[in-house]
């Protein structure tokens, strides 16, 4: 671990995925931590395809710090529809960017992984040391394994080359500006949109995948971004680090809470022929607290209220 914080004020910083939901929050947190916004570069996919090595090499040229957030990602539906694309795109982006950053002499590389990398039946709470103790949940295994391979790469590059790359594992994220597209959204934005549209149409029922029994843990986007920046500045070790709240909620209780906050009185129809996904997700967050002092600050109900309010104002 680092003995002194990485000062950001004179660093040239590349943030892949910086135009996205989490990326915009990370850039704001970088600036609050002293980074110069003019020295932050955000590559865009239309002119910088990170699946191509030459694009990765151009992106990292002259950069001091790389924060890799870019990912091809979605909910259970997208994972079932496009497992090959999710595996290939995420593996190619990550592994080539890491290698290009090493060759370019980048001083710090922060890779944001996924809890989809954990085994399907990981003991709760998930400890980082459990990540290799089984195969991921089948519907998101291609994505999870592609991202987990980047942890191996960073550890190997640290061992052989002394490359300072860290690997952070944020739990499911949510917040304003999330992806509410029903074809690719995660559970919270998907449910908020379902309830909102049911209210607009006057529907008295809404369908929800599975049987409501799985649990999930959720981290508000500003908390996640703050954790990523804190890790970038204060952590320098090969072991992965969870970012989360340490609290879980069942999908049944989640949709009940969303309906309450949105004042929806209709019936929930459980589509039990659809997959539940991983049975439980809840992280052990001790390592992040001990290694660089990160704890989540935004309460779940407050975060949901903010997310709902944003969607109501921006729904089309």
The token pair that represents 258 in the structure block: 């969303």
Please identify which residue in the block is written with the tokens 């799985």.
Answer: 214
- Rounded Cα gap, residues 164 and 144, in angstroms: 23
Q: How many alpha carbons lie under 13 Å from residue 169 in its C-beta half-sphere?
A: 31
Q: Which residues contact 247 (CB under 8 A, 6 or more apart)?
A: 217, 282, 300
Ramachandran angles phi, psi of 15, nearest 5°: -120, 100
Closest CA to 242 of 292, 278, 303: 292
Q: Say whether 102 is catalytic.
A: no
CA torsion 43→49→55→56, rounded to 10°?
A: 70
DSSP state of 277: -
Closest CA to 177 of 222, 125, 139, 119: 222
What kind and span of H or E run contains 268? strand 267-271
Q: Backbone dihedral region of 178: left (phi > 0), alpha (psi from -120 to 50 degrees) or beta?
A: beta
- Rounded Cα gap, residues 293 and 235, in angstroms: 10
What kind and span of H or E run contains 253? helix 251-261
- Rounded Cα gap, residues 136 and 121, in angstroms: 8
* Contact assessment for residue 275 and residue 281, using Cβ atoms and an 8 Å cutoff: no
Q: Which of 102, 143, 220, 264 does the annotation list as catalytic? A: 143
Handedness of CA 229, 234, 240, 244 (dihedral sign): negative
- Rounded Cα gap, residues 265 and 262, in angstroms: 9
User: Which residues belong to the active site?
Assistant: 143
């Amino acid at each position: 671990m680092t003995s002194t914080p990485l000062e950001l004020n004179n660093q040239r910083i590349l943030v892949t995925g910086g135009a996205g939901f989490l990326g915009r929050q990370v850039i704001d947190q970088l600036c609050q931590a002293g980074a110069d916004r003019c020295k932050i570069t955000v590559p865009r996919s239309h002119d910088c395809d990170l699946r191509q090595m030459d694009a990765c090499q151009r992106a990292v040229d002259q950069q001091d710090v790389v924060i890799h957030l870019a990912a091809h990602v979605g909910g259970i539906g997208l994972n079932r529809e496009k497992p090959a694309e999710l595996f290939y795109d995420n593996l190619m982006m990550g592994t080539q960017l890491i290698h290009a950053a090493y060759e370019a002499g980048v001083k710090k590389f922060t890779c944001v992984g996924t809890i989809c990398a954990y085994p399907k039946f990981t003991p709760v709470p998930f400890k980082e040391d459990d990540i290799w103790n089984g195969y991921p949940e089948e519907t998101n295994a291609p994505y999870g394994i592609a991202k987990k391979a980047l942890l191996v790469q960073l550890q190997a590059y640290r061992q052989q080359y002394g490359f300072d790359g860290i690997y952070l594992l944020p739990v499911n994220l949510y917040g304003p500006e999330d992806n509410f597209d029903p074809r690719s959204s995660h559970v919270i934005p998907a449910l908020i949109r379902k309830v909102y549209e049911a209210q607009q149409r006057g529907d008295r029922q809404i369908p929800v995948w599975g049987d409501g029994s799985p649990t999930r843990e959720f981290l508000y986007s500003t908390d996640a971004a703050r954790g990523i920046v804190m890790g970038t500045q204060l952590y320098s070790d090969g072991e992965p680090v969870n970012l989360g709240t340490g609290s879980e909620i069942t999908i049944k209780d989640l949709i009940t809470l969303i309906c309450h906050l949105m004042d929806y009185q209709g019936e929930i129809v459980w589509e039990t022929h659809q997959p539940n996904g991983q049975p439980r997700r809840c992280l052990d967050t001790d390592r992040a607290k001990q290694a660089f002092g990160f704890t989540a600050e935004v309460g779940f109900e407050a975060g949901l209220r903010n997310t709902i309010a944003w969607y109501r104002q921006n729904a089309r």
